[in-house]
Structure 1
Amino acid sequence: MEEPQRRIRAAHSESTITVYQAYSPEIGGPAVRDGRFPGAWKRDRMTWIKPSFLWMMYRCGWGAKAGQETVLAVEISRAGFDWAVRNACLSSYTRGVHPDRAAWQRQLKHAPTRVQWDPERDLRLRPLPYRSLQLGLSGEAARRYADEWTLAIRDVTPLAHEIHALVNAGDLTSAARLLPEERPYPVDEEALAHLDGTR
């Protein structure tokens, strides 16, 4: 079955969705230990969450990039995630979605969240012909993410390293078995209508 051009794919339950981020050990370690982001985590900065494990691996180089050595699986409430999607603006102007560039800029200025649709990745981190969601949280959204929506934080760095080692060894079958199970995330099509764009 052919994948749609844009779809939210994620590991999720009836009440939660798992997103990924990568941080330095100074942030990641306390976050895992305490199950919440520490005071050093800046709540006034934009933070990007990624439901796609492999897109996170592409971004952080399997946890090898400086400042991204600790890969976190952050379980958040679906209610919070859905709020973030409903209140998001596309991160770039898209003709046909926005009336004009000025209207998009006004929307972007006031939106607490923003969306990018980036090419999904395969196990070798090569781009696939369909896209996955990245969600940027700022202001109110970043604070609510850290202090209200986050329910659990796990360190998945060892998993990232194990899968990467299997990929390097050419054992893609075993590597694929270890991937988190990401399924289409049920979201109201109307909630995504204003986010029907690509970068």
Structure 2
Amino acid sequence: MKYQEVRAEFDRDTISVYQAYNKNIALPAIKSNKFEKPFSFNRMTWIKPSFLWLMERSNWGNKSNQEYILKIKLKREDWEKALSMGVLTDPDKLVYSSGYEWDKLFKEAKVHIQWDPERSLKGGKLQERTIQVGISRHLIEEYNDQWISEIVDVTPLVKKISLLRKAGKYKEAKRLLPLEKKYPLKPEIEKSIGIR
């Protein structure tokens, strides 16, 4: 596994990303396969293909306003389009020729790319880093109306895995995790988002 690479659950047409919300946002989204108010269309929304990263961030759906875990299936061409528009949240010297170049691109970016430590089933930080993608308010309507193929409530699965973890049954818990593998990308996209 590379230090930074996109790992995700995906099939021929879609890739799965995760978000955590309260019931006022989650329940209408599950029902209609798209987000509705009170979901904010005026600020950046962050999507993450790593199930375990979001589990750590949301404390397995126990944090306030993060009680529902949604698996959002995005069309692969739209996911790749987002990555191709992405600008890293820090001025990686292997991607940008100067801090000035990065600053200019970042200020105009419709998509932000951030790499964070991947997490283990026990919650520990791993050496590998996982991607999260920020969709700006300039693209959020398109994301909601065109990119989403399906929104699935995986909260019951999260609760089941969480209970197994608490009982120390990590082997059983691991069997229930989504199967995430390396997502194939064009070399130019890999280079532009800092994959190495």
TM-score scaled by length of structure 1: 0.94
Aligned position for 2:70: 72
Aligned match of 1:140 in 135, 138, 141? 138
Q: Note the C-alpha offset of 1:41.
A: 1.6
Q: Output one character per residue of 1:65-99: Cα deviation in whole Å (capped at 9) or x when no partner.
A: 01111110001100110000000000112233222
Secondary structure, aligned partner of 1:170: coil
Q: What is the aligned-residue identity percentage?
A: 37
Name the amino acid aligned to 1:83: K
Q: Gaps spanning 5+ residues in structure 2: where? A: none
Counterparts of 1:105 and 1:143 in 2: how far apart (Å)? 25
Structure 1 unaligned regions, length at least 5: none
Offset at residue 6 of structure 1 (A): 0.7
**What RMSD over aligned residues (CA atoms) do the two structures have, in Å?**
1.3
Per-residue Cα deviation, 1:90-117 (whole angstroms, up to 9, x for no partner): 0112233222222111101111101111
**Residue 111 of structure 2 is aligned with which of 93, 110, 113?**
113
Quick one: distance in 2 between partners of 1:175 and 1:191? 34
Deviations 1:34-76 (A, max 9, x none): 1111132222210000000000101111000011111100011
User: After alignment, is 172-181 or 102-111 more displaced?
Assistant: 102-111
Aligned counterparts, 1:30-179, within 5 A: 30-179=28-177
Task: Extract structure 1 runs of 4+ deviating beyond 4 A.
Answer: none
Q: CA deviation at 1:22?
A: 0.4
| 1:197 Cα deviation after fit | 7.0
Contact 1:43 1:146 in 2 (8 A): no
Q: 1:140 deviation in Å?
A: 3.1
TM-score (norm 2): 0.96
Amino acid at match of 1:122: S
Secondary structure class of the residue paired with 1:32: helix
Query: Conserved in 2, the CA contact under 8 Å of 1:97 and 1:197?
Result: no
State the 1:20 CA deviation: 0.1
Taking the aligned partners of 1:193 and 1:61, their CA distance within structure 2 comes to 32
Name the structure 2 match of 1:193.
Answer: 191
Contact 2:86 2:109 in 1 (8 A): yes
Q: Aligned to 1:76, what secondary structure does the other structure show?
A: strand
Count of aligned positions: 196
